[in-house]
Structure 1
Amino acid sequence: MAQIPSGPAWFAAAVVVAALCLVLVVLWWRARVAAGRLGADRVTAAQARARLEAVLSAGREGLVVHSPAGVVLEVNAAAAAAMGVSRSEVVGRRLTDLPVTWVNDDGEQVAVAAVFARRPPPAPGDLGAYSVGLVQRGGSAPHWVQPATSELADEQGTPQLVTTFTDMTGPREVRAALARSELQFRAAMENAPIGMALMDPQWCLEEVNPAFAVLLGTVPEALVGRDLSSFSHPEDRAAERRAVGRLLSGHDERFTLDKRYLRADGSTVWVSLDVVLVRCPDGRPDHFVTQVTDVTELRTQAEMLAHRAAHDPLTGLANRLLMQAVLQKAVELPDAVGRVAVIVVDLDEFKQINDRYGHAAGDAVLTHVAGVLRAATGSRGTVARLGGDEFVVVIHEGDAARAGFEVAAGIHRGLRTPVRVERTRLQVRASVGVAVADHDLVQQGPMALLAAADAAVYRAKAGGRSRTEVYDASMAEPDGAPPEGSGTELGGAIEHGQLVLHYQPVVELASGRVVGHEALVRWQHPVHGLLMPGEFLDAAGQAGLGGALGSAVVRQAVAHLVRGATPGWVSVNLSAQQLSDPDLVEGVLAEVGRHGIEPGRLVVELTEAGLEPDGPVRHGLTRLRAAGVPVLLDDFGTGVWPLSYLRDMPVDGVKLDMSFTAGIPADPAAEQVSRALAALAQQMELATVAEGVETEAQALVLQEAGWVHGQGWWFGEGRSEPVTGL
């Protein structure tokens, strides 16, 4: 049996064994700790890799990690998608082998080294930094990017390069769109036919186009920096500044203003000023955008049309409508008694001048008389021509009676000078009637004052003509002998068949073919000879003979149709007052039915307004149309007929008032109005007839303007052949 060492030797051996065990335990512990640390590092590395993968997948910018030798080490999903490949297809390949082509703005290929060269990232929003187009193999449109490359080192210190690609396709498209918009704006502004300008919040011009400068008679450079209101007409400047102030204060978003500007040469131009205020995002005013349209010609035409609506086209004097308005206003003034007078001037034997020397001579006489009346009246009143050879002067002055005498005397003096017509000197005389407003006449209204002056004219004519009579109350009382054209005498004329009809042809302008006639009533007076309608129609109305007169005219017209004396249809003139009489309408229907007149052969011309479309007149017209009697509106375009009548009244056609025809072709406004009225009538499928055609030129212009039929002196005595060249 072995002997166990004892003493110091045993102890030493035990110490050695213990030490060895301790060393083994320490080594084992360290191994375990190292293994734990390795596992933790592996977990951390996996987590980091996962985070990197997430970053690479989620990033919107393309990212390529590559070695200095040009080998792709990593690429994110955005970069791979831009190149049209998966990430696994790119990693490990050289940059020069990537499946893309790089191009510049001109479409030229760019070297790969230039794309991935070291370059700092551009400042945010720097659209001008270096950019290239990435074109996929087989692709067409480039995907534009801004490359930026920086150097990094891995854990071992090995250098690596990271290139990011910022997407520039959207910003470039926006920039291109802005550029196109700016180019289009510049092109539109430079070539616009109307004036355009940009102005600062102080209303000073920052930029103007050539049309704006031309409108003001200068060049664009001379306008920049100027206050636009400095060019404004002094009377319009305040309105312009108020409108601008309302924009700046936020009361309005834009304004349109018709106003005047003074051109560089001192002349005036009318414009339509259209202004919009553009504000900054915070609401502060930034600039004004202004359009300026030259409306001088349109305004001139409008003024001409307004003047034509209120003035006689031959003489330029006020017409009946304007005269009535002036007289109405004067009589309504509180001081009208003794301060208002009406003078009626009727030329003596004017019909003989027309018959012997022609209408041109008659027009020359009327124009001369208009000048005489203007000179005699001066600034004391308004001179008007009511039609034919009848003129009226309305005076409003402190002593109207004295003024009336002086004006009448001046008229007679002025008419002593003969009128020169070609080689002929014509002596013209006139009968003048004066009526001064008194309490009774003022209470009866303006038409009573006009009627009083008419009565004075009649007394002047009865007393030997070429003289002046002043109205007094005795002129309103019967004196035992019925005056010329009075109701009593006219009633006898109707009963004894003294009314006769003259038939004026209506022709088709395109061919000159006669398609109808207008029946014009005359009074064959046993003493005074043939009287025109103006000499007895008023008396018929005042005596209540309108219905009897109308019935007599219709009977004669129907008899004319039965005889077949003229081709086509025959029209008769009936007033609204006459057509409101159911007995007259019944009489017309009875005549048509008794003689079997074909529909459309008898036509009614409605010659005056004054009754509502929904009243008896509408009922009468409706019955006539139902019986085959068409209805024409006479004096179309003069303002007597509201345009609503075309819609509300049962009418079949319109007749252009001769005042428009008289202005053709010398007056462009008359031609434009006649063209517009023809277009309106055609749009409503109405028949069209132009009255007062006296020359071939008028016929040509009217037919080209859209009028189908015409009537007047040219188609009667004026020519014997059809109109040519139509």
Structure 2
Amino acid sequence: MIKKTDIEANFKVLITKKLAELKDVSVKILNSNYLAVTLPNISISELNSYVEKLHKNVFLICQNHQKNITHKNIKIGACDYQLGADQVAVYKLAKSALALSQSSLLQHCHRLTLNHCQEKHLSSKQVIENIKKNKFILFFQPVFELSSGDILQHEALIRVRHSQLGLLAARYFIKQVYSDQDALILDKAVITQVKKLMLSESSALTVSVNLHPKNWFNTVFWEWLANQMAELKLNTKLQFEISEAEFFTHRESITNALNVIKKGHSHIVIDNVKSSEKVAMLVDYNQVCGLKLSYELVHLLDEKTQSQKKIKRIVEAASLLNLPVYAVGVETQKELLTLTKLGVVGAQGFYFSEPLQEFTQAVFN
């Protein structure tokens, strides 16, 4: 058997030979299906050409060992970044680009850029001021039913506009929103926009909103929300996401929120579920309508037997309470097939679709 280090060395020698003009090329084998290659000091104008060269050369190298391989068998997800960038962010963006390539029959290379905005956070003041000025937009991540391909619901995702940094996802600023008032402004803006869109659309699909943690304890927010839902009769179309850790740590403190949701016949999705340990405790909370698995459990699931066992136990525990289990961050067909075998009902992620600005009737095959 060829050792992993030998494969790395062989690929590095061959790729370096093909790209002789580059110095300090790095090659790493992540697993049997993934190869990480770093090409340093490339100008912006040459980025696309080097991505194409890399695809061509990797194909030629692989063809020497497997004659029947084709260009479509080689997929590249590229991330260009500046020296000193956060390597975790680089890896995640490269994986997203790879997922886009893998989901396309024609495009074998996809490149995403690690922008300045993805490395630095906006201040809380900037975020709130931009939201007050309506400098934000909502995208919707569809959740697909695995058995039929139908869209079950959408998750609302806020993007805040910035004159220099473009559209920023919530993960780049959400931890910067410190005060109760800031959190209140943020979620009021999101839900108000969701209402407008839902009223203008004929779709009966549910929209899921991931509330800022502070608002689960904010009585003012729930009084406002109860009035909004009652006035416009949107309670059955809105549901709210809360992480597993937040829910079980603070469930006594969020009694008011749970009562408002129950009275309004709305629902909760427990997000970021990592184990089956506490699922049975949800028997007393009929506001809960589903569970979403953590990204860590889903990522490269087909290669991780421990993750498969954990998900199977979660699905079994949830089925006793008639709760569906959903997956997030699905990037590959192998992950999808494994999730289906384990009994997961629905999923979302780049494998199916990028977040959309409008509700969609699209299905996946």
TM tier relative to shorter chain: 0.5 to 0.7
Q: 1:513 to 1:644 in 2, by over 3 A?
A: closer
Matches within 5 A, 1:489-568: 489-541=126-178, 544-564=181-201, 566-568=203-205
Match of residue 658 from structure 1 = 295
Which whole-Å deviations, capped at 9, do the CAs of 1:567-603 have from their partners, x for residues lacking one? 511000014321110111122222211212252x111
Q: Answer yes or no: is the 8 Å Cα contact 1:517–1:570 preserved in 2.
A: yes
Q: 2:251 matched to 1:613?
A: yes
Question: 1:486 deviation in Å?
Answer: 1.7
SS class of match (2:347):
strand
Question: 1:425 deviation in Å?
Answer: 12
What is the alpha-carbon distance in structure 1 between the residues aligned to residue 160 and residue 275 of structure 2?
A: 28
Question: 1:648 deviation in Å?
Answer: 5.8
RMSD of the TM alignment (CA)?
4.1
Q: Answer yes or no: is the 8 Å Cα contact 1:547–1:578 preserved in 2.
A: yes
What is the alpha-carbon distance in structure 2 between the residues aligned to residue 699 and residue 503 of structure 1?
A: 20
Q: Answer yes or no: is the 8 Å Cα contact 2:159–2:168 preserved in 1.
A: yes
Task: Decide which of 654, 657, 677 is 2:314's aligned counterpart.
Answer: 677
Task: Decide which of 671, 681, 690 is 2:327's aligned counterpart.
Answer: 690
Q: Answer yes or no: is the 8 Å Cα contact 1:522–1:531 preserved in 2.
A: yes
Q: 2:233 matched to 1:596?
A: yes
Match of residue 339 from structure 2 = 702
What is the alpha-carbon distance in structure 1 between the residues aligned to residue 136 and residue 202 of structure 2?
A: 18
What is the alpha-carbon distance in structure 2 between the residues aligned to residue 638 and residue 389 of structure 1?
A: 28
Q: 1:691 to 1:427 in 2, by over 3 A?
A: closer
The code of the aligned residue for 1:509 comes to L
Question: 1:543 deviation in Å?
Answer: 7.4
SS class of match (1:587):
helix
SS class of match (2:228):
helix
What is the alpha-carbon distance in structure 1 between the residues aligned to residue 157 and residue 91 of structure 2?
A: 19
Which whole-Å deviations, capped at 9, do the CAs of 1:457-514 have from their partners, x for residues lacking one? 99xx78xxxxxxxxxxxxxxxxxxxxx6222222211211112110011111100011
What is the alpha-carbon distance in structure 2 between the residues aligned to residue 493 and residue 570 of structure 1?
A: 24
Which whole-Å deviations, capped at 9, do the CAs of 1:63-89 have from their partners, x for residues lacking one? xxxxxxxxxxxxxxxxxxxxxxxxxxx
Q: 1:596 to 1:647 in 2, by over 3 A?
A: closer
What is the alpha-carbon distance in structure 2 between the residues aligned to residue 581 and residue 654 of structure 1?
A: 24
Q: 1:494 to 1:683 in 2, by over 3 A?
A: same
Q: 2:48 matched to 1:361?
A: no
Question: 1:657 deviation in Å?
Answer: 1.2
Q: 1:584 to 1:427 in 2, by over 3 A?
A: closer
What is the alpha-carbon distance in structure 2 between the residues aligned to residue 619 and residue 389 of structure 1?
A: 41
Q: Answer yes or no: is the 8 Å Cα contact 2:291–2:325 preserved in 1.
A: yes
Question: 1:694 deviation in Å?
Answer: 2.0
TM-score scaled to structure 2, two decimals?
0.63
Q: 1:717 to 1:534 in 2, by over 3 A?
A: closer
The code of the aligned residue for 1:361 comes to G
What is the alpha-carbon distance in structure 2 between the residues aligned to residue 504 and residue 426 of structure 1?
A: 21
Unpaired runs of 5+ residues, structure 2, are: 1-29, 32-43, 53-74, 93-100, 103-107, 356-361
Q: Answer yes or no: is the 8 Å Cα contact 1:694–1:713 preserved in 2.
A: yes
SS class of match (2:143):
strand
Unpaired runs of 5+ residues, structure 1, are: 1-314, 317-348, 374-384, 392-420, 432-456, 463-483
SS class of match (2:329):
coil
Q: Answer yes or no: is the 8 Å Cα contact 1:663–1:671 preserved in 2.
A: no
Q: Answer yes or no: is the 8 Å Cα contact 1:487–1:540 preserved in 2.
A: yes
Question: 1:688 deviation in Å?
Answer: 1.9
Which whole-Å deviations, capped at 9, do the CAs of 1:420-444 have from their partners, x for residues lacking one? x99989999899xxxxxxxxxxxxx
What is the alpha-carbon distance in structure 2 between the residues aligned to residue 424 and residue 517 of structure 1?
A: 28
What is the alpha-carbon distance in structure 2 between the residues aligned to residue 648 and residue 362 of structure 1?
A: 47
Question: 1:636 deviation in Å?
Answer: 0.8
Q: Answer yes or no: is the 8 Å Cα contact 2:280–2:318 preserved in 1.
A: no
Which whole-Å deviations, capped at 9, do the CAs of 1:147-203 have from their partners, x for residues lacking one? xxxxxxxxxxxxxxxxxxxxxxxxxxxxxxxxxxxxxxxxxxxxxxxxxxxxxxxxx
SS class of match (1:665):
helix
Question: 1:714 deviation in Å?
Answer: 2.0
What is the alpha-carbon distance in structure 2 between the residues aligned to residue 605 and residue 427 of structure 1?
A: 29
SS class of match (1:541):
coil
Q: 1:676 to 1:638 in 2, by over 3 A?
A: closer
Question: 1:619 deviation in Å?
Answer: 2.2
What is the alpha-carbon distance in structure 1 between the residues aligned to residue 115 and residue 212 of structure 2?
A: 30
Match of residue 623 from structure 1 = 260
SS class of match (2:159):
strand
What is the alpha-carbon distance in structure 2 between the residues aligned to residue 698 and residue 533 of structure 1?
A: 26
Question: 1:656 deviation in Å?
Answer: 0.9
Q: Answer yes or no: is the 8 Å Cα contact 1:506–1:516 preserved in 2.
A: yes
Match of residue 123 from structure 2 = 486
Matches within 5 A, 1:97-246: none
The code of the aligned residue for 1:666 comes to E
Q: Which runs of 4+ in 1 moved over 6 A?
A: 421-431
Question: 1:697 deviation in Å?
Answer: 2.8
SS class of match (1:713):
coil
Q: Which structure has the greater CA radius of gyration? A: 1
What is the alpha-carbon distance in structure 2 between the residues aligned to residue 364 and residue 661 of structure 1?
A: 26
Q: Answer yes or no: is the 8 Å Cα contact 2:79–2:113 preserved in 1.
A: no
Q: 1:595 to 1:532 in 2, by over 3 A?
A: same
Q: 1:364 to 1:580 in 2, by over 3 A?
A: same
Report percent identity of matched pairs.
20
Q: Answer yes or no: is the 8 Å Cα contact 1:625–1:631 preserved in 2.
A: no
What is the alpha-carbon distance in structure 2 between the residues aligned to residue 575 and residue 648 of structure 1?
A: 24
Which whole-Å deviations, capped at 9, do the CAs of 1:306-356 have from their partners, x for residues lacking one? xxxxxxxxx89xxxxxxxxxxxxxxxxxxxxxxxxxxxxxxxx9xx99xx9
Match of residue 722 from structure 1 = 364
SS class of match (1:693):
coil
Which whole-Å deviations, capped at 9, do the CAs of 1:186-244 have from their partners, x for residues lacking one? xxxxxxxxxxxxxxxxxxxxxxxxxxxxxxxxxxxxxxxxxxxxxxxxxxxxxxxxxxx
Q: 1:598 to 1:618 in 2, by over 3 A?
A: closer
SS class of match (1:609):
helix
SS class of match (1:707):
coil
